[in-house]
Structure 1
């Protein structure tokens, strides 16, 4: 990644650090919550809030980084692995936040007053939670690649 001077040159590494750091820290924190708190519903509620915050960070940082690449390199940005990794990460955030998370919330709401894992929706919830976990892991790994390759 070319080093730019000025505001954009400063913001780009900060945006990468904030996004990728938030991804990994939230994954670690969620794991700790589920291992530490005896109430899995409470752990899930707190983890869900953290994942929403990291999604917002990803949407903002990802959009900034994509626009910055396009502004700096024009159409040749489409020939860069950096651009495509950022785009895939950003799409994963959007799919997770606006596709998978609402589906999981609907399954939880449909199970009320029971816990979703004690309902007829448990298998669907597990499946979609697994899809969300794989997408999040992919986003984390792409972020790690981004940091290693462009730091």
Structure 2
């Protein structure tokens, strides 16, 4: 039976995993599509870009906190600990790939497109491909988030 301290660490681990997964789901599947549904694409892109930047920073903070908690989690055997480390690392890698790689490249294309917008730009194909990879990484991260929540219990 876990001790009160062990139960508290496990509960905090679950809460942080749920916060991380929930924030990804909220931004990726609710807020971003909603912004593009009601705003012009340039403004929506700026709003969503800001949300994704904040999501990336939240991901970094939550990954660090979860890694600290894993070190203090007496309730996890070696196999569950490795699984959690892999899951957290993979989620963070997805987030950083989007934040440090794809978002800056997409922003540069948006900026170079000028007032006509990205769709009128000769770089539209590249932008669309980067956007598709970004969506795939968020999908992977959101599935991993669900796994992390379930495995954190």
C-alpha change, 1:55 and 1:77, in structure 2 (3 Å) is farther
CA distance in 2, matches of 1:102, 1:48: 10
- Structure of greater relative contact order (alpha carbons < 8 Å, 6+ residues apart): 2
Q: CA deviation at 1:10?
A: 5.2
Say whether residues 1:66 and 2:76 are aligned partners. no
Q: Which structure 2 segments of 5+ residues have no match?
A: none
Runs of 4+ in 1 over 6 A off after TM superposition: none
Q: Deviations over 1:106-133 (max 9, x none)?
A: 1112222431221011000000011011
Aligned length, in residue pairs: 147
CA distance in 1, matches of 2:147, 2:31: 21
What pairs with 1:33-112 in structure 2 (closer than 5 Å)? 33-37=35-39, 39-72=40-73, 76=78, 80-112=82-114
Conserved in 2, the CA contact under 8 Å of 1:107 and 1:116?
A: yes
Aligned to 1:16: 17
Conserved in 1, the CA contact under 8 Å of 2:60 and 2:92?
A: yes
Conserved in 2, the CA contact under 8 Å of 1:3 and 1:9?
A: no
TM-score (norm 1): 0.84
C-alpha change, 1:4 and 1:15, in structure 2 (3 Å) is farther
Query: Alignment RMSD, CA only?
Result: 2.4
Aligned to 1:134: 136
Conserved in 1, the CA contact under 8 Å of 2:110 and 2:117?
A: yes
TM-score (norm 2): 0.83
CA distance in 2, matches of 1:124, 1:4: 53
Conserved in 2, the CA contact under 8 Å of 1:70 and 1:77?
A: no
C-alpha change, 1:50 and 1:67, in structure 2 (3 Å) is same
Secondary structure at 1:120 match in 2:
coil
